[in-house]
Amino acid sequence: MGNLRQPNANQATETSNRSRDVVPMSGLCTACHDGCRGNCEVFVASYRGREVLYPKPFSEITAGADKDYPVDYSHLNIQGYGVGAEGMPEGVVPGPDTAVFAEVNTETEYGWDKKVRMKAPIFTGALGSTEIARSNWEHFAVGAAISGVTLVCGENVCGIDPQLELDTGGKVKLSPEMDRRIETYKRYHDGYGEILVQMNVEDTGFGVAEYVHKKHNLNTIELKWGQGAKCIGGEIKVKSIERAKELKRRGYIVLPDPEHHEIEEAYRDGAIKEFERHSRLGFLDQDAFMAEVARLRAIGFERITLKTGAYSMKELAMALRWGADAKLDLITIDGAPGGTGMSPWPMMNEWGIPTFYLQSLANEFAEKLTARGIRVPDLAMGGGFSTEDGVYKALAMGAPHFKAVCMGRALMIPGMVGKNIGAWIDGHDLPKTVSKYGDSIEEIFVSYEDLKDKYGDEAINLPLGAMGIYTFAQKMTIGLQQLMAGSRRWRLNTLKRSDVFSLTEEATKISGIPYVMDAYREDAEAILAS
- pLDDT tens-digit profile of 64-120? 888 899 999 999 999 999 999 999 998 898 999 999 999 999 999 999 999 999 999
Does residue 162 have a cis peptide bond before it, meaning omega lies within 30 degrees of 0? Answer: no
pLDDT at 255 > cutoff 90 = yes
Q: Report if residue 354 sits inside a domain.
A: yes
3-state SS class at 440: coil
Residues 299, 198: one domain? Answer: yes
Q: Tell me, yes or no, whether 64 lies in a domain.
A: no
- Model pLDDT, residue 5: 85
Residue 484 CA to residue 471 CA, distance in Å, equals: 20
Angle between helices 176-188 and 208-216 (to 10 degrees): 50
For residue 63, the model assigns a pLDDT of 84
Q: Is residue 59 part of a domain?
A: no
**Sign of the torsion angle spanned by Cα atoms 110, 399, 331, 365:** positive
- Quick one: how far is CA 34 from the chain centroid? 43
Give 331-371 pLDDT, tens digit per residue.
Answer: 999 999 878 888 888 888 899 999 999 999 999 999 999 99
Residue 375 has pLDDT above 90, yes or no: yes
Check whether residue 309 and residue 357 sit in a common domain: yes
pLDDT for res 58: 79
pLDDT in tens, 154-208: 999 999 999 999 999 999 999 999 999 999 999 999 999 999 999 999 999 999 9
Same domain, 304 and 412: yes
Is pLDDT above 90 for 2? no
Same domain, 511 and 480: no
Neighbours of 491 (CB within 10 A): 16
Q: Which domain holds residue 145?
A: 98-234+281-494
Q: Are residues 304 and 320 in the same domain?
A: yes
Confidence of residue 41 (pLDDT cuts 50, 70, 90): very high
Of 230, 252, 225, the closest CA to residue 343 belongs to 230
- The mean pLDDT of the chain is 95
The side-by-side arrangement of strands in the sheet containing 235-238 is 235-238, 275-278, 253-255
244 shares a domain with 201:
no
Are 295 and 391 members of one domain? yes
DSSP string covering 306-335 = EEE-S--HHHHHHHHHHHHHHT-SEEEEE-
Q: Is residue 247 in some structural domain?
A: yes
422 and 362 both lie in a single domain: yes
Residue 292 lies in a domain: yes
Residue in 146, 123, 106 with CA at minimum distance from that of residue 482: 106
d(CA 331, CA 174): 29
Inter-residue contact 134 to 144 (CB < 8 Å): no
For residues 319-341, average pLDDT: 94
Q: Could you tell me if 388 and 506 lie in one domain?
A: no
Task: Answer whether 313's CB lies under 8 Å from 363's CB.
Answer: no
| In a domain? residue 196 | yes
In the predicted model, is pLDDT for residue 59 greater than 80?
A: no
Whether 195 and 255 map to the same domain: the answer is no
In a domain, 322, yes or no: yes
**Other beta carbons within 10 Å of 203:** 27
pLDDT for 338: 78
Is 74 contained in some domain? no
Mean pLDDT of 478-493: 97
Give the three-class secondary structure for 348.
helix
CATH of the domain at 152: 3.20.20.70
Q: Can you give the pLDDT at residue 117?
A: 98
Instruction: State the CB neighbour count (10 A cutoff) for residue 446.
Output: 11
User: Is the predicted pLDDT of residue 145 greater than 80, yes or no?
Assistant: yes
Q: Strands of 46-194 (E only): list them.
A: 63-64, 76-78, 108-110, 116-118, 122-124, 126-127, 151-153, 165-166, 172-174
d(CA 200, CA 323): 17
Beta bridge partners of 152: 126, 196
Count structural domains, the chain.
Answer: 4
Backbone torsion region of residue 272, taken as left when φ is above 0, otherwise alpha when ψ lies between -120 and 50, otherwise beta: beta
Same domain (yes/no): 516, 369:
no
Residue that terminates a domain, selected from 245, 278, 311 = 278
Query: What's the pLDDT tens digit per position in 392-422?
Result: 999 999 999 999 999 999 999 999 999 999 9
Please indicate, yes or no, whether residues 469 and 516 belong to a single structural domain of this protein.
no
Q: What is the pLDDT of residue 1?
A: 64
